[in-house]
Chain A
Amino acid sequence: MDDGQAIGSGRTWFLAGMRGIFSLPALMLMLSFVGFCAFTAQAGIPVEQTVFMVGAVWALPAKVILVSSMLSGANLLAAFIAVTLSSIRLMPMVAALVPEIRTGKTPTWLLLFLSHFVAITAWVFAMERVRTVPREHRVTFFAGFGITLVVANMLLVAAVYQYVTEFPPIVAGCLFFLTPVYFLASIWSSARHPVIYLALISGLVAGPFFYWLAPEFDILLAGVGGGTLAWLTERQWRKRGEGRHGSV
């Protein structure tokens, strides 16, 4: 069959994914990682462990919680539970991404392996860009982007570690603030479904509300509660719209 062609174009799409390292999302994330690096350096975590953490955990909020647990001398089980609870969001994120990128022939082991490279930035980037990629090359495209992004940030952290503690406070503060600002702008501008706008707004409101109500489970409750509310509202609007069209 056209195996040779498929391999060739596969490489092309892997490289196209790799080029995503020069995109705004990747740049924002790398700046955020410089900020995270400053956080670990100030906390006294050695550079080798910081680099290992970047590759092994990858999701930035999970790493912040892990470092906080290590600093407070939490035992392994307590740290495991804290990080596990904070990372539940990865499941719906991956579950929403998988139907967008797989084909009937995509092996599950490959998706399990590639899921490691999902964190907020890669997810936002992939959900935004994959629609421009032919379906049979989406997994390859994501692999190219995800793997490159992780390796680049491991190298970046190793390179800047010894300099970050000397950053002026304004630079450190702005680096930290880039993450939420970038997430907000990119989720809004890349939304393809009306439900995304509603979910974004309801999550922003529900987050602080549940932090006040039940701080240990705030993110989880805000996600399930805010997300379900957004979904119900959007479905109601959609049904009303369909009802109007149907009656004509």
Chain B
Amino acid sequence: MAVFEGWWPYVFIAIAGWLATDLWRWLGVLAGNRLRDDSEVLNWVRAVATALVAAVIAKLILYPTGVLEHSPLWLRLGSIAAGVTAFFIGRQKPAVGIATAIAVLAIGLYALGF
């Protein structure tokens, strides 16, 4: 594919990838520099940042790309539910929840003939 040859892809990545993301990181530094670490504004910023990440998480689960695009939604949600259950039973150890969710997903994919 012509688009991936020569120096142009690097310029493309630098502008549409590097600059497009670092712009926000720099603005974040300038904004964060003005926040005291016990202020109410920072509490709001924390909530917004967490909710943004949570929305990305939900999208990855509900609308995945690649192999999982063809997997049934109930399997993905079931894996998450199993992982969440194990996480709380296992005294909120991340590894317990993660391992359970991935194991359920792997078994489900195998059973479905992936």
Label chain B's interface by main secondary structure. helix
A211 touches B3 (CB 8 A): no
Q: Closest approach, in angstroms, between the C-beta of A146 and any C-beta of chain B?
A: 11
A58 touches B52 (CB 8 A): no
Which chain A residue shows the least CB distance to B49? A92
In the complex, which range does the number of interface residues on chain B fall in? 35 or more
Residues of B within 8 A of A95 (CB): 28-29, 31-32, 35, 42, 45, 49
Query: A178 vs B17: C-alpha distance in the bound complex, in angstroms?
Result: 24
Query: A66 vs B44: C-alpha distance in the bound complex, in angstroms?
Result: 29
Interface centre among A90, A200, A206 (most CB of B within 10 A): A90
- How many residues of A are counted as interface, with CB atoms below 8 angstroms from the partner's CB atoms? 102
Which chain B residue shows the least CB distance to A201? B54
Residues of B within 8 A of A211 (CB): 59, 62-63
Interface centre among A61, A172, A181 (most CB of B within 10 A): A181
- B89 close to A (CB within 8 Å): no
Interface centre among A187, A210, A222 (most CB of B within 10 A): A222
Flag B1-38 by CB within 8 Å of A: 1 or 0 each: 10110000110111111111111111111111101110
Which chain A residue shows the least CB distance to B63? A211
- A18 close to B (CB within 8 Å): no
B46 touches A195 (CB 8 A): yes
Query: A35 vs B27: C-alpha distance in the bound complex, in angstroms?
Result: 30
Residues of A within 8 A of B29 (CB): 94-95, 98, 108, 111-112, 115
Which chain A residue shows the least CB distance to B110? A170
B20 touches A56 (CB 8 A): no
Q: Closest approach, in angstroms, between the C-beta of B18 and any C-beta of chain A?
A: 4
Query: A82 vs B20: C-alpha distance in the bound complex, in angstroms?
Result: 9
A91 touches B31 (CB 8 A): yes
Q: Closest approach, in angstroms, between the C-beta of B82 and any C-beta of chain A?
A: 11
Tell me which residues from 29 to 84 in chain B have a Cβ below 8 Å from any Cβ of chain A.
29-33, 35-37, 40, 42-68, 71, 76, 79-80, 83-84
Query: A115 vs B32: C-alpha distance in the bound complex, in angstroms?
Result: 11
B68 touches A173 (CB 8 A): yes
A199 touches B51 (CB 8 A): yes
Contact surface of B with A, Cβ cutoff 8 Å? 1, 3-4, 9-10, 12-33, 35-37, 40, 42-68, 71, 76, 79-80, 83-84, 87, 92-95, 97-98, 101-102, 105-106, 109-110, 114
Contact surface of A with B, Cβ cutoff 8 Å? 24, 28, 35, 38-39, 42, 44-46, 49, 52-53, 56-59, 61-64, 66, 69-70, 73, 76, 79-80, 82-84, 87-100, 102, 108, 111-112, 115-116, 118, 120, 123, 169-170, 172-174, 176-189, 193, 195-196, 198-208, 210-211, 218-220, 222-228, 230-231, 234-235
In the complex, given contacts A57-B17, A92-B52, A228-B47, what are 12 additional A-B residue pairs having Cβ atoms less than 8 angstroms apart? A46-B4, A80-B20, A98-B32, A108-B30, A111-B29, A112-B29, A172-B66, A173-B109, A177-B102, A181-B83, A181-B101, A201-B54
